[in-house]
Amino acid sequence: MGHEGFTEVTRLAAAREELLSVVNPPAAAESVPVAEADGLTLADSVAATRDVPGFDRAAMDGYAVRATDTHDASDRSPAVLDETGGDVTPGLARYVHTGSPMPDGADAVVKVEETDTRGDRVEVFAAVPPGENVAPAGEDVRSGDRLFDAGRRLRPSDLGLLKAGGHRSVSVRGRPTVSVIPTGEELVAFDPGYGETTETNGLTVSRLVERWGGEATYRDIVGDDEGALRAAVERDTDHDIVVTTGGSSVGERDLIADVVADLGDVLGHGVALKPGHPVGYGVVDDTPVLTLPGYPVSCLVTAVQLLRPAVAKAGGFEPEPFPAFEATLDRKIASEVGVRSFVRVRETDEGTVEPVRGGAGVLSSVAAADGWVVVPESLEGVAAGESVTVERWEAFH
């Protein structure tokens, strides 16, 4: 199994495992206010320090009563109770709002629409059992309950639960730092002239790193010069991961593999996936270096498959599965046995999915896609009419 110009090609799973083996563990934990912890990773498990809610509360607007006082109440024969503003003793009812603490003595709430008032008296038209329309203390969380395990990457709703559970601050891992270095003599930041190309890979990869929980340093373009490439990589080995885009193949201007080999070790160069087989990875000064291909789609695929799990390991968390949906394929997908293929597809008006036209250099094909179908190494394609799983790899989640 091989690709033109590569003497050895590594299976994707093995390449991922080898890259992750040189990713260093997360940095030491630090304590941050809960309000500032969105997107950060818990260093320790966290338990609630109090009940949520901390008291029995009304779950409806209505009257707090003793359930026994409503026995046999009905539209024809309402129970008649005296309204009070204090404790609920036999024969009394007290008006409560949703979320109000239950008054002493009351064990149920009659919904306001099932009552009527006549002066200081309350007519109750429905019997209620004990606990009806009452949210008991600890209904949401009890003191001592584990809220989250270590390694959880916190979401906005998690912060609310942490605060409700009694926490002002939490112990978290810092965001892993990733240097993103776009390379290529033909690249310009904007307004390309004849023979020039606008730099997009570094921008895209750095923003993906941020979405995946890392902190990206988006560097200026470096030309196809060994000295400049060497200096750029050496400068950034204080980051958790160094990523380059472009120049990763085996042509005359593809220099980054030689630079990594000169500075450290190339662990792999050439991976059995499509698009993206020219990807490489190694280590320099104990820092993993990932060299992504220059074709935009190849760059994206390899970043998702290799850089994303590396960012997660450096941050001390597990990457979440991508949102996915099942669909019927309306046209055959061709693939190569021994190669894992990532085929962009889009939904049709008929509810099926179809492959998106465009090669690895057609960036617009990514924007046109609703996700991709993964064809494993054991298959030479997927027939039309087959059910496939579509991964929404770029979805917000």
pLDDT digits (tens, 9 = 90+) for 127-168: 999 999 999 999 999 999 999 999 999 999 999 999 999 999
- 227 by DSSP, 3-state: which? helix
Predicted confidence at residue 42, as pLDDT, reads: 96
**397, pLDDT greater than 60:** no
Q: Is the pLDDT of residue 2 over 60?
A: no
pLDDT in tens, 279-288: 999 999 999 9
State residue 5's pLDDT score.
60
Average pLDDT for residues 5-17, to the nearest whole number? 87
* Residue 209 DSSP one-character state: H
Contact by Cβ (8 Å): 206, 68: no
Domains in the chain: ranges and CATH: 12-27+174-315 (3.40.980.10), 30-50+144-173 (3.90.105.10), 57-135 (2.170.190.11), 324-391 (2.40.340.10)
The percent of residues in the chain predicted with pLDDT above 70, rounded, is: 98
| Lookup result for tokens 């179908």 | 373
**Angstrom distance (rounded) from CA 101 to CA 341:** 59
CA atoms within 13 A on the CB side of 134: 22
Mean pLDDT to the nearest integer, 226-254: 93
DSSP state of 228: H
pLDDT given for residue 117 in this prediction = 95
pLDDT at residue 347 tops 80: yes
Q: What is the dihedral sign for C-alpha 294, 299, 302, 308?
A: positive
Backbone angles phi, psi at 367, to 5 degrees: -65, -30
pLDDT at site 268: 95
pLDDT at residue 396, as a whole number: 61
Cα 310–Cα 364–Cα 229 angle in degrees, nearest 5: 45
Average pLDDT, the chain: 94
Three-state DSSP class for 17?
helix
Collapsed DSSP state (helix, strand, coil) of residue 36: helix
Q: Region 214-224: what's the mean pLDDT?
A: 97
pLDDT given at position 49? 97
CA dist 121 and 130 (Å) reads 22
Under a CB-based contact definition with an 8 Å cutoff, are residues 390 and 372 in contact? Answer: yes
Please state the rounded mean pLDDT for residues 67-87: 96
- Mapped onto helix, strand or coil, the DSSP state of residue 45 is coil
CB 222, CB 229: distance < 8 Å: yes
**Where residue 8 falls among pLDDT bands split at 50, 70, 90?**
confident
More confident residue, 64 or 8: 64
